[in-house]
Amino acid sequence: MSTADDRYFSEINSLSAVLEKRRGESGPIVLANGCFDVMHVGHIRYLKAAASLGGILVVALNDDISARRLKGEDRPIFCESERAEILLALDVVDYVLLFGEGTVDGIIRILRPDFHAKGTDYKVETVPELETARSVGCETVIVGDPKDHSSSEIIYRIRPED
């Protein structure tokens, strides 16, 4: 990913400054997050549904280290810069923020989005960042289609374990 892309951020305070300038002019700010390793239709449906909630969609993207911690030593398949580039190629994604923490609590505290969109593998009450979101006036919403798609399952079908 070219660091010249002004929609890609590895430093939250820089993105926060951009969003503060845009806050209120483009509609609600929506935060979605995930690894997005081996993009599939479930990711697209999740991001489209998240984008439909507001005017600006920020995607917090797990960096390679945190994706490996979540998904296993053989992941991610695509490096963080390529995953970011793929996300930014989607019309519905306005900004990508790389992060390495276990949750997006810190991102919610700093960016103060209007909505935190999570996929249907969650219920609102099981979202780890729910209390943080509430504390800054952010509504947690569940969006997308049923969790019938999985990057891990796709990878397994391509290279089954022997």
Nearest Cα residue to 62 out of 26, 27, 96 = 96
**Whole-number pLDDT of residue 42:** 92
Question: What is the distance between the alpha carbons of residues 19 and 23, in angstroms, rounded to a whole number?
Answer: 6
What CATH code is carried by the domain that includes residue 135? 3.40.50.620
Identify the band that residue 150 occupies on the pLDDT scale cut at 50, 70 and 90: low
Which residue, 38, 28, 51, 34, is CA-closest to 122? 34
2 assigned to some structural domain: no
Please check whether residue 146 lies inside any domain of the structure: yes
Q: Give the HSE-up count for residue 138: Cα atoms under 13 Å, Cβ half-sphere.
A: 29
Measured CA distances, 134 to 31, 56, 72 (Å): 14, 19, 31
Domain of 93, in residue numbers: 8-158
Q: How many domains does the chain have?
A: 1
Give the tens place of pLDDT for each residue, 51-110: 999 899 999 999 999 999 998 898 899 999 999 999 999 999 999 999 999 999 999 999
SS3 label, residue 116: strand
Q: How many residues does the chain have?
A: 162
